[in-house]
Structure 1
């Protein structure tokens, strides 16, 4: 059992003055200490085959703190693909919506929950997106798609053990397009930055860091991070700012609402076509930025893409 979770566990209890009640409460407290850290994984494992109507829960990454040491983390490439979660019965997008995959693709998947990225190649996101989002799958186009698996959400164990589980499970399937993501260890911050530069120079998007002793947990956690030359995030379009000068009669900038509720104008990175027909109000867009202002707004933000509806 991971020491960190055990040491940090705490139980608030009200002890009755009766000796039998005290003993019972002590047993309940001990049970909470022993079982509590494992509950997120165990609950997911119990329900991994349940309901094609409920949403899949995904583990989400946050931006890597530049000064943090990578010791204790596995490092892998961040693939610019489409997130795909297999629950043992159906493949889902990150949002939980069912993804229409060919029958041969689904039939080859193991009877355990998997999390990964559908991917064609570096710089091929638009092509991939067009393939995997069709309601009726194009069998020939899907032959170019790989499923790069980086986690097994239903496996109640630390990430290091889940990595070995994914590797052995997928190796036993002998399917060329079903692949475990390579997980490496780097020694220090300099080695991490060197790895990042090499990955980006070869056309990669960035890196993912996953704490090796962490149990699986849905949502954003302190166990999973992304590292890119320029960080990115998503926001919702809530308005359009009219253009001036050359852009008169077009969209000068998108008014974007961040997850914090703050709003800012996003104009850089929009093509002429996107200015003539901008992403509609309500759409979610991805943007890159260098750093943040003192108030938390992105500095030098640049439009990257519209997030396809899921």
Structure 2
């Protein structure tokens, strides 16, 4: 079964997933420090803990703001003038549960839009600075002073596993995305590292839509599930999380989607995998 390309929603999905969509200029993706997934064998004593922001990772090179995938982001002059002359990196954030609105704002590339005034740049690090993260964080505190667009994560010291689980549960109850754990003694290395760790009540990933499965019952003549393939070559279905609209006009074959899951099955596939949103390469 295929979606009907004549409907406005289908046309919109095709445009958003097309490389010819009218977005901003592209450049080389920046080299950034990437977080590792939490595992019980990582000693966390001494780590700092903060909220994980559900935003768009961005790198300011001193002249341009660039997304993790190389999209040059146009900013209003009022925000741009608050950025320093040296490289910083972090996450553009509109608030909890606002990723869709943020994604739309970035794609519009309209610096005059009023929504920009609610945007914050959560500044994580100084990629080209020497010293430990503790030292870099102190420098960032001085750098953002008097600049409301630029904000720093608020850290708490890691105490024990039980306290971490309680903190995660409380944050999740309030619509939070998860926690990040940071080694304050680590140098900045532009690679995936245990200096930065994601701690969530679920895991997530991206996968390519390769087929559809037929819907049954009330979903007859609609998509029952997306058949997807992840970076490891695993094939599995995403049915949970799809709205009725998305079942009628699903993400196009070949597009990327974001999903969540809870561990792996005995066959090594994502357990309880569920659709979150269509992935846009920002």
Map 1:104-123 → 2, pairs under 5 A = 104-123=78-97
Tell me by how many angstroms 1:307 deviates: 1.6
* Cα pair 1:196 1:206 within 8 Å, conserved: yes
1:60 is displaced (CA, Å) by 2.0
Structure 2 match to 1:265: 237
* Residue 67 (structure 1) shift: 5.6
Could you tell me which residue of structure 2 aligns to residue 54 of structure 1? 28
Gaps of 5+ in 2: 1-25
**Corresponding residue for residue 277 of structure 2:** 305
Indicate the structure whose relative CO is greater, using CA pairs within 8 Å and at least 6 residues apart.
Answer: 2
Please give the secondary structure, in 1, of the residue aligned with 2:30. coil
Cα distance, 1:58 vs structure 2: 2.4
Q: Residue 131 of structure 1 contacts residue 138 of structure 1 at CA under 8 Å; is this kept in 2?
A: no
The aligned counterpart of 1:243 is: 215
Counterparts of 1:166 and 1:213, CA distance in 2: 16
Partner residue, 1:193: 165
CA contact (8 A) 1:81 1:128 kept: yes
If the length of structure 1 is used for normalisation, what is the TM-score?
0.78
Q: Does 2:143 align with 1:169?
A: yes
**CA–CA separation in structure 2 for the residues paired with 1:130 and 1:58:** 24
Which of 80, 83, 88 is the matching residue for 2:57?
Answer: 83
Among 71, 74, 78, the alignment partner of 1:97 is 71
Partner of 1:143: 117
CA distance in 1, matches of 2:35, 2:213: 31
Q: How many residues align?
A: 257
What are the ranges of 5 or more consecutive residues in structure 1 without an aligned counterpart? 1-51
How far apart are residue 218 of structure 1 and its match? 2.2
Q: Distance in 2 between matches of 1:66 and 1:134?
A: 42
1:66-109 per-position Cα deviation (integer Å, ceiling 9, x unaligned): 46442132211001112121111100111011112112222210
Q: CA RMSD in A?
A: 1.8
* C-alpha distance in 2 between matches for 1:67 and 1:222: 11
Contact 1:69 1:188 in 2 (8 A): no
Whether the aligned pair in 2 keeps the contact of 1:68 and 1:189 (CA below 8 Å) is: no
User: d(CA) in 2 for partners of 1:275 and 1:168?
Assistant: 50
Structure 2 distance, partners of 1:69, 1:203, is 28
User: Whose helix proportion is higher, 1 or 2?
Assistant: 1
User: Counterparts in 2 of 1:258-297, with a 5 A limit?
Assistant: 258-297=230-269
Q: Secondary structure at the match of 1:131?
A: helix
Task: Give the structure-2-normalised TM-score.
Answer: 0.85
**Max Rg structure:** 1
The match for 1:159 among 133, 147, 154 is 133
